[in-house]
């Protein structure tokens, strides 16, 4: 029997971890052997969800080809966001809700991508289509992923499908959707114990835009005051990472989850493209991003267009 390793993107968020666990269970129910793994340690929010539903975090890997020949990707498809040796294994499954960029395979595969708020919503639909029951703990993790990715349905990426799935998953998980949702989101906003590297790299993705290597990170907060006291140190960390990994541009999106707005910190020689993308002005390496909460829908497409125009 073929064994699959199932994983989300580097610097995994709650959806990447939860979707890997849910997809592994789905494959097992389908008669395959599968194990969820992670391409990085879990963040505070994900740890909160795992503890809430008595689940262990998947083991962390940086390579997979020494273990298996076949893999399944969740919550990503872009190679630069994936495992280092992706080109040495066969991708048989992808379940994702992001743009498709730089992805190709030599063999046919199962590819499910939908323009909705969360990968776990797609997985919920897969379970229903196959008439598979969802265990309480996995339902709780999938619910957590939907809450996280949609900011409790405040994100413009959120759809009625995400909310409908969350309502049903909350019933299976036996939690109050609104109460648990706020607890989960707040669990990831305490930055006191986080280093500047944690802040910058905890939820970071790399993108290729018109030949440039662009790093877009995001961190959730309640109010901007605390993180602004560390602004210089955070910018220094961003510069250190740029020099180490040859990024042309680095943007940290700081999102106030209660006010549904963001502030951006900027490093790099192509900063003018950020002003162009958001029709704003950078002052002292910061730019106001009113109403912006979604990297996927309100940051990456706008930046890509700015670079390509």
Distance CA 157, CA 144 (A): 16
In order of start, what are the domains of the chain with their CATH numbers? 3-187 (3.90.1640.10), 196-308 (3.10.310.20)
The per-residue pLDDT for 225 is 93
| Predicted confidence (pLDDT) per residue in 118-152, tens digit | 999 999 999 999 999 999 999 999 999 999 999 99
| DSSP 8-state secondary structure symbol assigned to residue 285 | T
Alpha helices in the chain (DSSP H): 14-29, 44-52, 119-129, 136-150, 160-173, 177-187, 196-201, 225-228, 231-245, 272-278, 295-298, 300-308
Q: Tell me: the pLDDT tens digits for 47-61?
A: 999 999 999 999 999
Residues 4, 30: contact at Cβ < 8 Å?
no
293: Cα separation from own chain's centroid: 13
**pLDDT score for 309:** 82
């Amino acid at each position: 029997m073929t064994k699959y390793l199932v994983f989300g993107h580097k610097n995994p968020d709650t959806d990447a971890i939860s979707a890997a666990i849910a997809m592994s269970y789905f494959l097992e129910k389908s008669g395959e052997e599968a194990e969820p793994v992670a391409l990085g340690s879990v963040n505070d929010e994900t740890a909160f969800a795992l503890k809430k539903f008595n689940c262990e975090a998947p083991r962390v890997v940086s390579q997979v080809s020494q273990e298996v020949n076949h893999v399944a990707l969740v919550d990503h498809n872009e190679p630069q966001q994936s495992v280092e040796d992706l080109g040495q294994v066969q991708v048989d499954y992808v379940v994702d809700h992001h743009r498709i960029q730089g992805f190709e395979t030599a063999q046919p595969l199962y590819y499910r991508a939908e323009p909705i708020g969360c990968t776990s919503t797609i997985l919920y639909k897969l379970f229903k289509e196959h008439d598979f029951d969802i265990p309480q703990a996995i339902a709780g993790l999938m619910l957590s992923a939907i809450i996280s990715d949609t900011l409790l349905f405040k994100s413009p990426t959120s759809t009625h499908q995400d909310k409908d799935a969350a309502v049903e998953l909350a019933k299976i998980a036996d939690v109050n959707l609104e109460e648990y949702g706020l607890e989960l989101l707040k669990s990831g906003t305490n930055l006191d114990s986080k280093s500047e590297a944690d802040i910058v790299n905890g939820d970071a993705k790399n993108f290729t835009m018109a030949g440039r290597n662009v790093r877009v990170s995001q961190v959730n907060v309640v109010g901007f005051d605390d993180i602004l006291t560390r602004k210089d140190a955070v910018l220094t960390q961003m510069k250190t990472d740029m020099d180490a990994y040859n990024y042309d541009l680095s943007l940290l999106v700081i999102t106030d989850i209660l006010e549904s707005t963001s502030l951006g910190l900027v490093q790099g020689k192509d900063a003018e493209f950020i002003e162009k993308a958001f029709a704003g002005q950078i002052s002292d390496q910061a730019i106001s991003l009113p109403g912006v909460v979604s990297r996927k829908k309100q940051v990456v497409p706008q930046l890509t267009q700015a670079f390509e125009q």
